[in-house]
């Protein structure tokens, strides 16, 4: 225990009794995230409602060297929100106000606990669009997405969270409240501090508000499903289509094993015989979408698709995208332990990465199933294992390491969107130079000299 009774009394005074959880049953609900192989018990869970409370809690934690792990919805896939050293879990879900939507300047300011889907529903009422779409958007919070620099299928055409982050309010480990960035599209006033905090996985500051850039809602959308007889051809098809100058809003890949598990749990119309499918969405002006759809259908056939279908209507399109969104639950629900990796390579290296992943799985006698945001080179090879079987789990970890090495050899990265967290911290040295890691640690010390914010993450 790092928290004394005296500190607990002070916490109650700051935040009120109704915003504090301490029972074992409650604490265990905050001891894990969306990964299936990490756990750590907090000593206390707090639900602040404003940044002044966060400021007082951090000042108190800093004074007493108590670890603080911020948590949004806990949907991350890297062990990021797990309090491995105990201490406080600071959960932002009660800070869920949309403060302002500025439809003239295409910006919005929201609190960290706003759920991405709720935000998008409000924007849709004003014909506005916020593209970054981690497939956990029904639960994921804006704060968690900023901290992970999340992206999703729209990453291909529209980029990821950092491309929409204009400014933020954050609380430093000392308790100091800082306002960073601004509201304008362009801003070169000093170092880009919001960008530094974006993707820092809760280790530099607690984000309390974010000001985000918006886009007008596209006039028209069309979904296309292409069926392939093998996974490598599907991957090769992606870069050949994109090299023709077409930019679908989304280009997603799902393999046969995952298609079958999705259809077993919710029949949504995916072709279960397909070895792999590519799901595209084209968006923009209606006439452009019509022309690009025709082109994508033609190019899919030219690059080896066995069948290509255009979604008949919005309902069918929604079914396909719901199926895609179910990918991770289909995987996690069908293996005692799943390691969902998110290596990313330059798009033209996808087929080679896929070949290597296949060979690595065969060599280690480990099942690897794959889906991912193929259009931006971000694949999710998911290693199916069982942590309770040490021999199998050791082979699974070796498999993960070999996949990371393959991605790095192909000029890729070990994480495109899930972050390093606990899951990949022991591989960081393979992906970054000692000098670069040293720089990360020095930056951490400037923001958080005592190391109370999300300790134990990113590096070993
Ligand atoms: C089914 C499923 C699909 C997914 N699909 C995608 C996908 O397509 N793309 C993608 O990028 N990710 C995806 N993810 C991963 C995950 O959903 C995202 O990383 C998401 O952004 C996490 O949001 P959260 O609110 O759950 O954050 P949490 O999991 O609670 O926290 C994530 C990290 O952010 C930190 N953090 C949280 N809030 C704050 C804050 N206010 N200030 C500072 N730090 C904070 C935490 O300490 C932790 O390190 C998926 C996950 C699942 C379960």
Nearest CA-CA partner of 453 in 143, 79, 7, 85: 85
Strands 107-111 and 98-102: antiparallel
Q: Positive or negative CA dihedral for 429, 431, 436, 437?
A: negative
Name the band, by pLDDT with cuts 50, 70 and 90, for residue 1.
low
- Say what the pLDDT of residue 169 is: 98
In this predicted structure, the answer to whether residue 47 has a pLDDT above a threshold of 80 is: yes
Distance (angstroms) between ligand 1 centre and the Cα of 200 equals 12
Q: What is the pLDDT, as a whole number, of residue 240?
A: 87
Question: Does the C-beta of 79 come closer than 6 Å to ligand 1?
Answer: no
**DSSP 8-class letter at 217:** P
Nearest CA to ligand 1 atom 37: 144
Q: Is 340's C-beta closer than 6 angstroms to any atom of ligand 1?
A: no
* CB 447 less than 6 A from any atom of ligand 1: no
SS (H, E, C) 83-143: CCCCCEEEECCCCCCEEEEECCCCEEEEECCCEHHHHHHHHHHCCEECCCCCCCCCCCEHH
Q: Which residue's alpha carbon is nearest to atom 50 within ligand 1?
A: 136
Protein residue whose Cα sits closest to atom 8 of ligand 1: 134
| pTM: predicted TM-score of the whole model, two decimal places | 0.96
Compute CA distances 305 → 134, 318, 325, 349, whole Å: 27, 22, 23, 19
Q: Reply yes or no on whether the pLDDT at 243 is more than 70.
A: yes
Atom of ligand 1 nearest to the CA of 80: 49
User: pLDDT tens-digit profile of 316-348?
Assistant: 999 999 999 999 999 999 999 999 999 999 999
The token pair at 76 is 């991350």
Overall average pLDDT of the 165-180 stretch = 98
132 CB within 6 A, ligand 1? no
**Average of per-residue pLDDT across 273-293:** 97
pLDDT digits (tens, 9 = 90+) for 353-384: 999 999 999 999 999 999 999 999 999 999 99
Cα of 21 to ligand 1 centre, how many Å? 22
- Number of the ligand 1 atom closest to the C-alpha atom of 69: 47
Ligand 1 centroid – CA 5 distance (Å): 32
Residue to mutate, 53, 148, 455, ligand 1, most ligand atoms under 8 Å from C-beta: 148
Check whether 426 has a pLDDT greater than 90. yes
Residue with tokens 């951490």: 444
């Amino acid at each position: 225990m790092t928290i004394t009774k005296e500190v607990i009394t002070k916490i109650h005074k700051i935040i009120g009794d109704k915003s504090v959880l301490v029972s074992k049953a409650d604490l265990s609900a905050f001891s894990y995230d969306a990964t299936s192989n990490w756990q750590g018990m907090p000593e206390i869970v707090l639900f602040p409602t404003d940044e002044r409370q966060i400021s007082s809690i951090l000042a108190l934690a800093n004074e007493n060297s108590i670890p603080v792990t911020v948590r949004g919805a806990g949907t991350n896939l890297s062990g990021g929100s797990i309090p491995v050293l105990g201490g406080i879990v600071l959960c932002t879900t009660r800070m869920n106000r949309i403060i302002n939507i500025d439809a003239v300047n295409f910006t919005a300011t929201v609190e960290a606990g706003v759920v991405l889907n709720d935000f998008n529903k409000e924007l849709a009422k004003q014909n506005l669009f916020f593209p970054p779409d981690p497939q956990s958007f029904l639960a994921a919070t804006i704060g968690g997405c900023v901290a992970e620099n999340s992206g999703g299928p729209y990453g291909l055409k529209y980029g990821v969270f950092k491309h929409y982050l204009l400014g933020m309010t954050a609380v430093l480990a000392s308790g100091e409240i800082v306002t960073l960035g601004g509201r304008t599209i362009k801003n070169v006033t000093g170092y880009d501090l919001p960008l530094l905090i974006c993707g820092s996985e809760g280790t530099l500051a607690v984000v309390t508000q974010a000001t985000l850039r918006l886009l007008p809602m596209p006039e028209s959308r069309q979904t296309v499903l292409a069926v392939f007889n093998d996974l490598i051809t599907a991957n090769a098809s992606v870069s050949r289509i994109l090299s023709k100058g077409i930019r679908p809003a989304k280009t997603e890949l799902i393999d046969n094993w995952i298609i079958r598990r999705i259809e077993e749990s919710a029949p949504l119309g995916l072709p279960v015989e397909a070895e792999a499918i590519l799901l595209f969405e084209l968006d923009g002006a209606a006439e452009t979408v019509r022309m690009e759809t025709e082109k994508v259908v033609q190019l899919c056939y030219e690059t080896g698709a066995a069948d290509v279908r255009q979604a008949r209507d919005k309902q069918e399109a929604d079914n396909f995208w719901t199926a895609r969104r179910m990918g991770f639950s289909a995987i996690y629900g069908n293996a005692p332990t799943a390691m969902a990796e998110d290596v990313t390579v330059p798009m033209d290296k996808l087929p080679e990465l896929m070949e290597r992943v296949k060979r690595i799985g065969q060599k280690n006698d480990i099942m690897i199933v794959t889906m991912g945001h193929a259009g931006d080179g971000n694949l999710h090879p998911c290693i199916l294992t069982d942590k309770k079987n040490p021999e199998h789990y050791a082979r699974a970890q070796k498999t993960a390491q070999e996949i990371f090495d393959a991605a790095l050899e192909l000029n890729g990265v070990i994480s495109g969107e899930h972050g390093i967290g606990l899951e990949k911290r022991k591989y960081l040295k393979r992906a970054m130079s000692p000098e670069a890691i040293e720089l990360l640690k020095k930056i951490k010390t400037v923001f958080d000299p005592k190391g109370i914010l999300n300790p134990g993450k990113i590096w070993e």
